[in-house]
Amino acid sequence: MKKQDYTTRLNTVLMSLRRSAMRESLNHHHAMSPAIMLLFKLIIDHYAENTAPITVSNLAEKMDISLSALSQSLDILEKKGMIERVKSPDDKRVTNVLLTRRGQTVSRHHHHHANHHQFFNDLFDYLGDDDSAELVRLMEKIADFTKNRNQGEKDLNAKTR
């Protein structure tokens, strides 16, 4: 294979990996306690399987916690812009928990990350131990090369200013 062919193939693969890594990093910008993350996961899993809203009472029952304890956790998710609580149009005593646009975005990233993680598990199963170790070794080497190259460019740019 020609060097140009390797370059084209590798560039395609690295761009794909870069896009995936950028998406994954977005998930970590929404730091939440494990309990709040569990609640949010329960909400996003509900909407992954249902179109009907989930109610505050349903969530409290599923999590086996009091409505007041749940309310405090929902306050946190609401302040983070992940959910909103809306009175049911059919019964004003019922409060629905809806994902906001931001919550939907984080939900998509969550599902992507889970699929991404499973992809690599499947890939490593396919490659076996030796090839998996070699892939990781080479990717680390590429990362070191890129880091050193970028640092060299920064140093060069700083000298020319």
At residue 146, the pLDDT reads 78
Single out the residue in 99, 124, 145 at which a domain terminates.
99
**Span 3-62, pLDDT tens digits:** 666 667 666 676 666 655 544 444 454 567 778 888 998 998 899 888 999 999 999 999
- Does one domain contain both 37 and 84? yes
Q: Give 129's pLDDT tier (boundaries 50, 70, 90).
A: confident
Enclosing domain of residue 19: 1-30+101-161
43 CB-contact burial (10 Å; exposed 0-12 / middle 13-18 / buried 19+)? buried
Distance CA 71, CA 79 (A): 12
**Span 49-100, pLDDT tens digits:** 889 999 999 999 999 899 999 999 999 999 999 999 999 999 999 999 999 9
Single out the residue in 70, 99, 128 at which a domain terminates.
99
Q: Give 113's pLDDT tier (boundaries 50, 70, 90).
A: low
Single out the residue in 79, 99, 119 at which a domain terminates.
99
pTM: 0.55
